[in-house]
Amino acid sequence: MAKRTYPGRTVVGAVVAATAVAGLTVAVGAPAAAHGTAGSGDAALRTLRVQPPFLKPAELPPHASSAWFAGPVTPGLPDPEPFCLDGGALPGGEGTYHRFFHTDYDTHAAQVSVVTGSAEQARRLAASWEGTIAGCAADWLRDTPGGTASWDDYGTVAVGDGAHVYGVHTSVPDSEPGVHLFAVGRSGARVTVVHWAEMGDLTQAPVSAFKKTTKAAVTKLGWTVGRWPKGSLRATGLQIAGVGVRLPATGRRPACTAGRRPRPPAPPGRIRRHA
């Protein structure tokens, strides 16, 4: 039988069952204190690596001649990894998820999200990705004799704990040029990168629309109780904080009605005084 506790204490038994009912993919790990997400007295709270919400096809920059299509959200590293972020930039293992998107043409996209152990780990991972993307054009030129490349910094997007948008253009003789947009953003212990690409150059890149995509992606990283859509964890009363799940401290003792006989209703015209 699940252990019943009161505000400010840990719920051990019912958390996994309630989360499973909500339809989320979870994996029970070590106590949350081992990941730096719990305070004193929380040793019994288990960490749940909750899959972050991902973009929907309609949230990507509109294509002039095609709808967007999406694959499933999949645990682990994408294959292939996004341009500029291949070769070890993306951490594998538990807490990493990805999703591919495509159109009927060459335009395609990918999103990778990582649930780290803390907000500081997410900050460092996001900074690492930004540095890799900013240096991608120069790295590509060193490995591609005869090619041309350029990049641009399209600035930040005010969402979550911060997001940044970049563009990269590459071209080789006798081949179509390629244009890439990247968005790196984080919220709490979660960090995401969105990659959009098609044939063309930076003058054709849908930067304004991609910034809207960026805002949508990072906003979803920060969804918690009270901001999740209908049908998610709202009904369970759970609060998600990066990788930890706990009951919110409401300051009120939960009502316990087990074994009580309900009071009969007051007769019409009379007011029952509270005993």
Each residue's pLDDT tens digit, 218-241: 999 987 533 444 444 433 334 333
**pLDDT in the model for residue 222:** 85
Here the tokens at position 2 are 């699940």
Do residues 166 and 194 touch, judged by C-beta distance below 8 A? no
The pTM score is 0.68
- The closest of 238, 236, 245, 248 to 6, measured between CA atoms, is 248
- The closest of 10, 4, 1 to 247, measured between CA atoms, is 10
Cis peptide before 80 (omega within 30 of 0): yes
Here the tokens at position 65 are 């001649």
Mean pLDDT in order along the chain per 10 residues (275 residues):
38 38 38 37 41 95 97 96 95 94 97 96 98 96 93 97 97 93 97 97 96 97 56 41 39 47 52 41
**pLDDT in the model for residue 232:** 45
DSSP annotation of 229 reads: P
- Strands 163-171, 96-102: pairing is unpaired
pLDDT per residue as tens digits for the range 85-138: 998 999 998 999 999 999 999 999 999 999 999 999 999 999 999 999 999 999
